[in-house]
Amino acid sequence: MVNDTFHLVYSTVGWPLEMYAPSYKKMVMRMSKKNRQKFMRNQSSVYECSDTTLPYFRELLAKEAKEQGLKVVRWPFRNREGFLKIGEAARSGKMAPGSVACLCHSWFKKEYKLECVPSWDFYPVIDALKANLDMIYPHPELDQLHSEKLYTSHLMAPTRYVNFVRHPDGWKVRGHGNKDTSRVIVEELKKLKGKAFAKDLHSKDVMVKQGLSWGGESVKRLLPKDIPEYITQKMLPAMPAEAEQITVLLQAKLDIVSELRWCMVDGELKGNMWKAANEPKLGQLATSAGYQQHGRKVVEKFVKQHGKFTIEELEAKMGVLSKRVYAEAAADAGGKQPLYMRIDLLLDKQGRVWLGERESWGADLKMADSCKGMDPTFAGMAKTMITKTKLNLRNLSKGKNASKPVGQKVRSKFSKLSSTSPSKRRCVKL
């Protein structure tokens, strides 16, 4: 029997006003009824982190699936109960064989908002879906690894991974028993200082990055002496009671010129653009700084002053480095090549290149339709995704193991992390 069903899971939760501060609620409620309804509709029609969760792209996927002969079955949900029922349907065999796209993302908050689902609800359902279906969204092997910020790369700035686990008597660092949490953080900062010095990075500031967050909402620039108190007295106490573990990255601060964002499809370089977040002030979140304007012009000025390469030569070399990062991601996925990946590379003021972030579908996926310079288009990506899953389903029907889930195996290599980096990849300079 041919697996010919395409399951489309998506959120109709909308924009929850109740999760915002009282002052913001009062501002909205002071609007006229007509303006308030219009405002709420507009807020509910956008996305929190990715173009691919928009209704427009969802309908393109459904249209492409039908045109390629797949039966489309929709699984909308409007609350936690509805989302968990989808997981139950997958476990009980109520979902016909085929493929699935779950157009949602995980986060560390307890609310359901737009396409965002609490991670402790999200991944059990994802595991149930991918156990018997060919998952084309999110990435079945890499999404959790990326969202929790547990991946490594030879191009990353010096980083220490501190993996916190909730115990009955409070938060502890995995691999350190009952040792005082602040003491462990201090020890990790000393190790980070040594790694940064070895890379000729002498800034006293450290970037503190929380897993399951994006857009700089939980990224803060701090002096080392302020970090233990910030993590233990502000960050960890704010974690929802349902959150049992969280990873925090302590990363050497870089002096950035700009950031080159490369899009890759099936391992091939597509569109790119220069865009970077501005440097936040000491003690501030990254979101407070806003984004750089006219990034390419900033880089053109820098390379002219630097005098060692042209911007075209720089972009070509960064394209090569993007392919190396892609190869690392494929290795993390058990050898399975990601269909889509966005790789953000940072250019520092010494002319060196570092990995800022790698994304497999998740946050920040931008299509050419909505972001100049990006590639592919919405329609092109929808066609690529459906064509790929059709091939996978065909191979499965012939007995080939085209889409064997390996995500649990991949994540298990991080299940017993200490506070140190989970990889021994060597840093390579441009």
Residues 171, 229, 231: CA angle, nearest 5 degrees: 50
How many CB atoms within 10 Å of residue 217?
A: 14
- 39, pLDDT greater than 90: no
Instruction: Write down the pLDDT at residue 404.
Output: 42
- For residue 104, the one-letter residue type is C
- 155, pLDDT greater than 80: yes
Tokens 């390579």 belong to residue:
428
Q: Which domains occur in the chain, in start order?
A: 5-138+383-397 (no CATH), 159-252 (no CATH), 254-375 (3.30.470)
Task: Count how many Cα atoms sit within 13 Å of the Cα of residue 79 in the half-sphere of its side chain.
Answer: 1
Which segments of 278-310 does DSSP mark as H helices, in order? 295-306
Instruction: Write down the pLDDT at residue 47.
Output: 64
- Check: CB of residue 48 under 8 Å from CB of residue 105: yes
- 8-state DSSP, 233: I
pLDDT in tens, 102-129: 999 998 999 998 889 999 999 999 999 9
Instruction: Write down the pLDDT at residue 405.
Output: 39
DSSP-assigned beta bridge partners for residue 99? 6, 134
- Check: CB of residue 361 under 8 Å from CB of residue 137: yes
Reading the block at residue 323, the tokens are: 């392919």
DSSP-assigned beta bridge partners for residue 342? 263, 359
CB burial of residue 105 (10 Å; 0-12, 13-18, 19+):
buried
Residues ≥6 apart with Cβ < 8 Å to 68: 386, 387, 390
Q: Which of 209-218, 285-294, 336-345, 369-378 has the lowest mean pLDDT?
A: 369-378
Beta strands in 242-301 (DSSP E): 245-252, 256-265, 268-274
pLDDT in tens, 346-405: 999 999 999 999 886 544 555 555 555 566 788 888 999 999 999 999 988 777 655 443
- 8-state DSSP, 333: T
DSSP-assigned beta bridge partners for residue 359? 342
Give the strand order in the sheet containing 71-77: 71-77, 5-11, 98-102, 133-137
- 8-state DSSP, 96: P
- 422, pLDDT greater than 80: no
Average pLDDT in the 177-198 region?
96
Secondary structure of 180-200 in the HEC alphabet? CHHHHHHHHHHHHHHHHHHCC
- For residue 51, the one-letter residue type is D
Angle between helices 22-29 and 33-44 in degrees, nearest 10: 120
Instruction: Write down the pLDDT at residue 349.
Output: 94
pLDDT in tens, 68-100: 999 999 999 999 999 999 999 999 999 999 999
Residues 47, 48, 53: CA angle, nearest 5 degrees: 45
- Check: CB of residue 417 under 8 Å from CB of residue 175: yes
Residues ≥6 apart with Cβ < 8 Å to 84: 121, 125
- For residue 309, the one-letter residue type is F
- Spatial separation of the C-alpha atoms in residues 118 and 113, rounded to whole Å: 9
Backbone angles phi, psi at 22, to 5 degrees: -55, -40
- Check: CB of residue 395 under 8 Å from CB of residue 404: no
Higher per-residue confidence, 43 vs 137: 137
What is the pLDDT confidence band of residue 423, given thresholds at 50, 70 and 90? very low
Instruction: Write down the pLDDT at residue 403.
Output: 42
- Spatial separation of the C-alpha atoms in residues 351 and 32, rounded to whole Å: 54
- Spatial separation of the C-alpha atoms in residues 297 and 402, rounded to whole Å: 44
Average pLDDT in the 254-269 region?
92
3-state secondary structure of 19: helix
CA distances for 322 relative to 50, 59, 345, 355, angstroms: 21, 31, 8, 9
What is the pLDDT confidence band of residue 201, given thresholds at 50, 70 and 90? very high
Measured in whole angstroms, how far is the alpha carbon of residue 331 from the centre of its chain? 18
- 8-state DSSP, 287: G
- Spatial separation of the C-alpha atoms in residues 99 and 27, rounded to whole Å: 44
